[in-house]
């Protein structure tokens, strides 16, 4: 069992049920691995070991008694530090919360515990989950396991790095502007952004502890190294929130098709508005070729009834409005008066928009949702890039929106990195990201599989098929 750290969560749960390995043995295996290998990565930022050991002993006793067991019974896992964990420090990367010990689990954490999972450590992120790089003044910087000079992504960067290193079989991420999808892409693992509204996220920070509002656009969802694990975790997480619990029910539709030959696949792999780099173009082109060699058909010309520019502009304004809670009222008034068309100015003005402006952008969002609905009458999924390039080098300069990134030798605004996450975000759509290949620099490149609203099982089934022909998750050399 020396490679237990690479087992899927479902295989590990089956082994624990079958008494091939105990929950306690599995936990100690992961702890030892993290102690040996996490130094240069810094994915794991806080332990909850003693309570986890007690939970593992209880899990083993339940197996011995022949109790009914949950789908993740006895499986150790790490948890992104934006999700409150009862009795265990949760900071969301903020010095103001460096000693915050929640009295309740966030709803997704509670559901994972009910399914038998054993959270034993927290993983790093940017302050208040507000960047696509994972660093903060509480726990420092997390590095990409494939190249420590690059970021693993954000905001679920510690989650993705932990998966890539074999520190945890599954993780819990959150995504408002790409915070599940980007780390999966950068770190060579898998992540699923669920359809908006199907996974309650009460207890995540931000907002601050005690907040009952669930942010516009924001979702939480599964991260893993196998599509089967994504689907098992999603089934655990979906359900009504605190307001709709008395009467709300959900039954996600079965996949629209099971094989490439029966799927109607479209591909939107590049766009003059937000051009992808040479590596991304090559890797995603190879994915299309592999699908067609496996008997599928891919329409690379099909587009929904809006431009990438339109979706990006609407999404970014709604995104910055959703993130505006970081500003005080007086600061909002100052931002509203800014007359600046730079990326920084656009971000700040959007954070200060009046409610009537937000209503106009919300209507534009609904028009995009309708165009997507019409598109998916003829197609089952759309393949898209996650970002215009692979993992970026660390850049902690401030302000964030004043940064630039190099894409094929050209310096472009940091905001260009969000150009391909907006269409699914604005449409409230499910999107599964899996590794598709390696760029010319040896770093992972992911493919984003977008599907119709509530057809999460369709995007995951397509991910399952593509993963089989693309080889799954690459293992970093540093992971042994």
Please identify which of the residues 8, 80, 159, 467 carries the catalytic annotation: 80
| CB count in 10 Å sphere of residue 101 | 12
Tokens at residue 158, please?
């510690």
Beta bridge partners of 411: 406
Q: What share of the chain is helix, strand, coil (3-state, %, to 5)?
A: 40, 15, 45
Q: Is residue 144 within 8 Å of 152, Cβ to Cβ? A: yes
Q: Which is catalytic among the residues 174, 179, 279, 467? A: 179
Contact 171, 190 (CB under 8 A): no
Q: What is the DSSP string of 4-48?
A: GGGS-HHHHHHHHHTTSS-HHHHHHHHHHHHHHH-TTT--EEEE-
Longest dimension (CA), the chain: 68
The alpha carbon of residue 125 and the mean position of all alpha carbons in its chain are separated, in whole angstroms, by: 12
Catalytic residue flag (residue 155): yes
Distance CA 187, CA 170 (A): 14
Backbone angles phi, psi at 15, to 5 degrees: -65, -35
Residue pair 327/351 in contact by the 8 Å Cβ criterion:
yes
- Whether 378 is a known active-site residue: answer no
Out of 24, 155, 156, 159, which one is annotated catalytic? 155
> Is 193 one of the catalytic residues?
no
Bond before 399 cis per omega within 30 degrees: yes
Provide φ and ψ at 398, rounded to 5°. -125, 150
Q: Which residues are catalytic?
A: 80, 155, 179
């Amino acid at each position: 069992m020396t490679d237990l750290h690479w087992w899927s969560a479902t295989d590990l749960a089956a082994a624990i049920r079958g008494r091939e390995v105990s929950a306690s043995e599995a936990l100690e295996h992961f702890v030892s691995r993290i102690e040996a290998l996490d130094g240069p990565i810094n994915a794991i930022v806080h332990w909850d070991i003693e309570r986890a050991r007690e939970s593992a002993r209880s899990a083993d006793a339940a197996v011995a008694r022949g109790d009914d067991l949950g789908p993740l019974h006895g499986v150790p896992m790490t948890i992104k530090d934006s999700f409150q964990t009862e009795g265990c420090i949760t900071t969301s990367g903020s010095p103001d919360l460096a000693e915050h010990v929640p009295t309740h689990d966030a709803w997704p954490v509670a559901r994972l515990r009910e399914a038998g999972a054993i959270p034993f450590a927290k993983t790093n992120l940017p302050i208040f989950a507000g960047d696509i790089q994972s660093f903060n003044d509480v726990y420092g910087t997390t590095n990409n396991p494939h190249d420590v000079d690059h970021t693993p992504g954000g905001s679920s960067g510690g989650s993705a790095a932990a998966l890539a290193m074999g520190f945890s079989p599954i993780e819990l991420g959150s995504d408002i502007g790409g915070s599940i999808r980007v780390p999966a892409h950068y770190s060579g693992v898998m992540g699923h952004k669920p359809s908006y509204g199907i996974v309650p996220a009460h207890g995540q920070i931000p907002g601050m502890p005690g907040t009952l509002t669930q942010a516009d656009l924001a979702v939480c969802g599964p991260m893993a190294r196998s599509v089967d694990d994504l689907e098992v975790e999603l089934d655990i997480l979906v359900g009504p929130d605190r307001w709709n619990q008395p009467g709300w029910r959900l039954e996600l539709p079965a996949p629209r098709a099971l094989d490439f030959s029966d799927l109607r696949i479209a591909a939107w792999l590049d766009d003059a508005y937000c051009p992808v780099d040479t590596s991304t173009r090559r890797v995603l082109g190879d994915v299309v070729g592999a699908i067609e060699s496996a008997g599928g058909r891919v329409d690379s010309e099909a587009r929904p009834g809006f431009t990438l520019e339109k979706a990006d502009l609407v999404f970014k304004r709604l995104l910055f409005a959703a993130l505006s809670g970081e500003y005080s009222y007086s600061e909002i008034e100052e931002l509203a008066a800014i007359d600046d068309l730079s990326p920084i100015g656009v971000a700040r003005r959007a954070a200060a928009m009046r409610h009537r402006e937000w209503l106009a952008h919300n209507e534009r969002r609904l028009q995009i949702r309708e165009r997507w609905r019409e598109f998916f009458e003829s197609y089952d999924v759309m393949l898209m890039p996650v970002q215009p390039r692979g993992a970026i080098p660390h850049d902690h300069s401030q302000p964030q929106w004043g940064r630039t990134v190099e894409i094929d030798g050209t310096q472009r605004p940091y905001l260009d990195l969000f150009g391909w996450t907006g269409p699914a975000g604005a449409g409230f759509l499910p999107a599964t990201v899996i590794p598709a290949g390696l760029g010319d620099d040896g770093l992972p490149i992911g493919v984003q599989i977008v599907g119709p609203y509530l057809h999460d099982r369709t995007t995951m089934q397509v991910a399952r098929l593509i993963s089989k022909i693309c080889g799954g998750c690459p293992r970093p050399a540093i992971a042994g």
